């Protein structure tokens, strides 16, 4: 029987199969992490946009005279809502807080990957405003 020289030795078939299996598992895990990361990034961008839309609507309402905010409708439009799938804006004014105080809730809802997401911004508006003492 001939002895193999050290230079002629290579990897056995079982070693190659094990190495390919380990690399395959690592690759699939990395792909899964990347897909999850991109989905999370997209959802975060949409939530940030929804927050911005809500804040814009709150500022628009704050600039109106106090007596006119009671007669606002329950929905509103914003050009940025078109950037969200099935984006809808709603608002609600509650006067149960006090005579000179109104509770304003501004919401944006949209669809993402088959689920409905919603962002709410709630604030109080007073007759005297925020700058007056």
At 8 the pLDDT is: 59
Q: What is the gyration radius of the CA atoms in the chain, in angstroms?
A: 29
Please, are residues 80 and 52 in contact by the beta-carbon 8 Å criterion? yes
What is the average pLDDT across 6-18? 81
17 or 70, greater pLDDT: 17
Burial of residue 54 (CB within 10 Å: 0-12, 13-18, 19+) is buried
Q: Whole-prediction pTM value?
A: 0.76
Q: Are the C-beta atoms of residues 103 and 40 closer than 8 Å to each other?
A: no
Residue 14 bridge partners (DSSP): none
**What is the rounded average pLDDT of the residues 99-106?**
92
């Amino acid at each position: 029987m001939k002895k193999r020289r050290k230079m002629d030795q290579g990897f056995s078939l079982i070693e190659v199969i094990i190495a390919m299996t380990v690399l395959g598992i690592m690759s699939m895990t990395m792909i899964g992490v990347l897909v999850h990361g991109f989905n999370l990034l997209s959802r975060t961008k949409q939530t940030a946009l929804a927050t911005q839309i809500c804040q814009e609507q709150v500022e628009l309402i704050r600039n109106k005279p106090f007596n006119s905010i009671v007669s606002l409708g329950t929905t509103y439009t914003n050009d940025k809502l078109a950037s969200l799938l099935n984006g809808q804006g709603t608002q609600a004014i509650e006067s149960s807080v006090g005579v000179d105080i109104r509770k304003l809730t501004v919401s944006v809802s949209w669809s993402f990957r088959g689920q409905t997401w919603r962002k709410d911004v709630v604030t109080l508006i007073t007759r005297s405003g925020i700058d007056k003492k």
